[in-house]
Amino acid sequence: MTPRLWAACTLGVLVVVLIVYAALVIPWHRPPAPRADQLAALGQLPRDQVQRAQAFHSELRPGSYLSLAVGLIGALLLGLTPLGARLVSFAGRPFGDHWIAQAVLGGLLVVLVVEVITLPLAAWRHTIVVRYGISTQTWGAWAVDLAKSYAVGAVIGGLALLGFYTVTRLAPRWWWAFGALGAAALVVLLSFVLPVIVEPVFNKFTPMEQGPLRTELMSLAARDNVPVRDVLVADASRRTRAVNAYVSGFGPTRRIVVYDTMLTEATPDEVVSVTAHELGHAKRGDVLVGTIIGALGAAAAVIALYLLGSLGWLLRLAGTESMREPRSIALLLALVTLAGLAGGPVQALVSRRIEARADAHALELTGDAATFEAMQRRLGTVNLSDPDPPTWEYLMYASHPSTVERMAAARAYARGER
């Protein structure tokens, strides 16, 4: 068989494996959260708080969707016209048009252009979250965090582009196979590395002081048979008033992380309830499941890009001759952006199912539906979550069940419904 036929067959196998794996490991059946209970919970929330949350999201939507549209248009203009290829050539020109300079600097320049055109909209959103009291950041602190985010993305993206185009040069006929393996390996590596290396770039973590809460959290993890190294407190208050907690890391690096805002806003029992939810993710290996799905998806994406390279009209639009050239970077960005938009609702659905299972785990582990419901009410109030968002927005973007869904699930659990 020709390399292209091998690639098509491999892509078909990967897609089947991905679908079968997802069907087996994703909890497609979610715990009951009757709509009647949702409406009852919504009616019991303070009306002024509900109206404030809805007003907050109404003000955020125009900037968020405009940013999405501008980013998409920018990616398509760069990728489906010769403009992106010219930017890559421009970046490589001071270095004698060397392919490494084009791949790394050209790729970063293309991404930077898209980031810059959406920057004013990001600033607009920042003014809104500050006005509503969610963000505590000054413009200087916000800019520093933004620069850190760009820097981390530049390092990871630059290394990925260098690896990709190195492979295309060394194996011009079979680069899709080596590239797929490399992309899958990168996803796995980042899953292990990011919590340990990247998280400290944005937050400082200190061990929680010895006391009843720390003892309870460690006991909760032991009772759940989830090995945890430590309980850390993140200095989230330097950028937000939002509350949260999570379990981070694998094996010997796993730790419970609690926002310092959580310790001031929530009761100890509510902190335990949130931690029980996060332990549910660790217990079920949700991070590992996401990593495997991400690795399979990344491998399939590389092969799909190889096959798209046979579409001459697409390459001509982009002003390049082959996907193996760094001048195709903008085209790759455009295709990845389109794929991300198309796959977004499916990713949101999968995430909601996984989060609902973690909610059920928290209720089973603590047996305290009243505290779970109180915590969801507090999360929604402090974080200004829309308690019952519009259906279309929920289906397209919601990564978690809504506040009233989670409150309804607690009420159903209390009645013995599973």
| CA 34 – CA 37 distance, rounded (Å) | 5
| CA 362 – CA 377 distance, rounded (Å) | 16
φ, ψ at 34 (rounded to 5°)? -50, 140
The answer to whether residue 86 scores a pLDDT higher than 80 is: yes
| CA 366 – CA 15 distance, rounded (Å) | 39
Active site residue 359: yes
Q: Check 224, 260, 278, 386 and give the catalytic one.
A: 278
Residue 38 corresponds to which amino acid? Q
**Sign of the four-CA dihedral 262, 250, 17, 26:** negative
Q: How far is CA 229 from CA 94, 130, 254, 291, 344, in A?
A: 50, 35, 6, 22, 34
Task: Report pLDDT for 2.
Answer: 85
Mean per-residue pLDDT for 119-139? 95
Mean per-residue pLDDT for 215-238? 93
Tens digits of residue pLDDT in 18-67 = 999 999 999 998 889 999 999 999 999 999 999 999 999 999 999 999 99
The answer to whether residue 252 scores a pLDDT higher than 80 is: no
Residue 300 sits at the vertex; the CA angle it makes with 299 and 306, to the nearest 5 degrees, is 95
pLDDT tier at 202, thresholds 50, 70, 90: confident
Q: Determine whether 104 is exposed, middle or buried from the number of CB atoms within 10 Å of its CB (0-12, 13-18, 19+).
A: buried
Residue 76 corresponds to which amino acid? L
Binding residues for Zn(2+): 277, 281, 355
Share of the chain above pLDDT 90, in %: 84
Q: What is the 3-state secondary structure (H, E, C) of the chain?
A: CCHHHHHHHHHHHHHHHHHHHHHHHCCCCCCCCCHHHHHHHHHHCCHHHHHHHHHHHHHHHHHHHHHHHHHHHHHHHHHCCCHHHHHHHHHHHHHCCCHHHHHHHHHHHHHHHHHHHHHHHHHHHHHHHHHCCCECCCHHHHHHHHHHHHHHHHHHHHHHHHHHHHHHHHCCCCHHHHHHHHHHHHHHHHHHHHHHHHHHHHCCEEECCCCHHHHHHHHHHHHCCCCCCEEEEECHHHCECCCCEEEECCHHHCEEEEEHHHHHHCCHHHHHHHHHHHHHHHHHCHHHHHHHHHHHHHHHHHHHHHHHCCCHHHHHHHCCCCCCCHHHHHHHHHHHHHHHHHHHHHHHHHHHHHHHHHHHHHHHHHCCHHHHHHHHHHHHHHHCCCCCCCHHHHHHHCCCCCHHHHHHHHHHHHCCCC
CA 365 to chain centre: 26
The answer to whether residue 195 scores a pLDDT higher than 80 is: no
Tens digits of residue pLDDT in 326-365 = 999 999 999 999 999 999 999 999 999 999 999 999 999 9
Mean per-residue pLDDT for 286-314? 92
pLDDT tier at 191, thresholds 50, 70, 90: confident
Lowest pLDDT segment from 48-52, 296-300, 414-418: 414-418
Q: Determine whether 126 is exposed, middle or buried from the number of CB atoms within 10 Å of its CB (0-12, 13-18, 19+).
A: middle
Q: Check 359, 368, 373, 388 and give the catalytic one.
A: 359
Task: Report pLDDT for 151.
Answer: 92
Binding residues: 277, 281, 355
Q: 254 and 232 in contact (C-beta within 8 Å)?
A: no
Active site residue 278: yes
| CA 380 – CA 56 distance, rounded (Å) | 12
Task: Report pLDDT for 253.
Answer: 72
pLDDT tier at 192, thresholds 50, 70, 90: confident
Tens digits of residue pLDDT in 3-15 = 889 999 999 999 9
